[in-house]
């Protein structure tokens, strides 16, 4: 499968999760983020976490829009959505959808998790997907909900398997430091985590604010030691 264009990847990754506690689980929220590539403003992202009508079932949905010259590469609204079950044992994704905002489907992804059959099936970039699940397997959106849940429980996120298109990749989350951070919603104490795959030159740094229920207030992607993109929180509203 062909790689996703860099700008689409930036906007897709700039869709982080943030939530306060609700009896130890998630609570509905809406958060807006600004996205920069280097010093250039390339777009914005809005993330929502919603309760489903079914008990214990949740939806995380992110919509990202390019701005300025970036519209020439990603002119539409990128949509990323995951439906997942949530209980004290963790997060279990049920289906995942990524739409690059164009009429074509050659970069879209649709996956269904069949936990009874231990398979993930669907399509990714117009190619069929049928792979075996792994214990604790996440999709590109539900993985953030799992990290948040573990942090709220006082546990380390650790190593997490995530399906990316038709491949399962393992990401290791490592605590780097604690940092006082100025944001558009105030100055916050944060914990900074690094997420990376073994042998990869790409890493993502996440700033979580414990006082906001470990809301994600900043993220940066680095490639070979150089920062590629930065996303920062602009607005957060619970409920």
CA distance 210 to 177: 13
**Predicted local distance difference test score (pLDDT) of residue 41:** 80
Q: Rounded to two decimals, what is the model's pTM? A: 0.83
pLDDT tens-digit map of 180-238: 999 999 999 999 999 999 888 889 999 999 888 788 899 999 887 788 888 999 999 88
Residue 18's closest CA among 231, 175, 213?
213
Domain boundaries, given as residue ranges, for the chain: 6-238
Q: DSSP letter at 138?
A: B
**Structure token digits, residue 146:** 């799992």
CATH of 6-238 given 1.10.3470, 1.20.1260, 2.60.40, 2.40.360: 2.40.360
The full DSSP string for 83-136 is: EEEEETTEEEEEEEEEE-SSS--TT-EEEEEETTTTEEEEEETTEEEEEE--TT
- % of residues, the chain, pLDDT over 90: 49
CA distance 55 to 67: 38
Mark 136-150 as b/e (b = at least 16 C-beta within 10 Å): bbbbbbbbbbbbbbb
pLDDT tens-digit map of 91-103: 999 999 999 878 8
Place of tokens 């393992």: 170
């Amino acid at each position: 499968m062909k790689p996703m264009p860099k700008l689409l990847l930036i906007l897709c990754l700039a869709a982080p999760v943030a939530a306060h506690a609700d009896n130890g689980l998630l609570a509905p929220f809406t958060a807006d983020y600004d996205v920069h590539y280097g010093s250039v403003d390339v777009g914005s992202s809005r993330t929502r976490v919603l309760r489903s009508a079914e008990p214990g079932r949740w939806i995380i949905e992110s919509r990202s829009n390019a701005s300025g010259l970036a519209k020439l590469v990603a002119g539409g609204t990128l949509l990323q959505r995951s439906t997942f079950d949530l209980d004290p044992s963790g997060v279990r994704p049920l289906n995942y959808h990524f739409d690059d905002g164009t009429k074509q489907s050659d970069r879209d992804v649709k996956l269904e998790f069949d936990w009874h059959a231990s398979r993930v099936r669907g399509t990714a970039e117009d190619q069929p997907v049928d792979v075996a699940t792994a214990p604790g397997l996440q999709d590109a959106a539900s993985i953030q909900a799992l990290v948040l849940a573990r942090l709220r429980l006082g546990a380390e996120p650790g190593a997490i398997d995530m399906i990316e298109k038709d491949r399962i990749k393992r990401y290791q989350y490592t605590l780097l430091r604690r940092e006082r951070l100025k944001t558009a919603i105030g100055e916050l104490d944060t914990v900074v985590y690094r997420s990376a795959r073994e042998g990869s030159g790409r890493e993502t740094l996440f700033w979580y604010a414990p006082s906001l229920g470990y809301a994600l207030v900043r993220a940066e992607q680095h490639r070979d030691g150089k920062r590629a993109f930065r996303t920062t929180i602009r607005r957060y509203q619970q409920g």
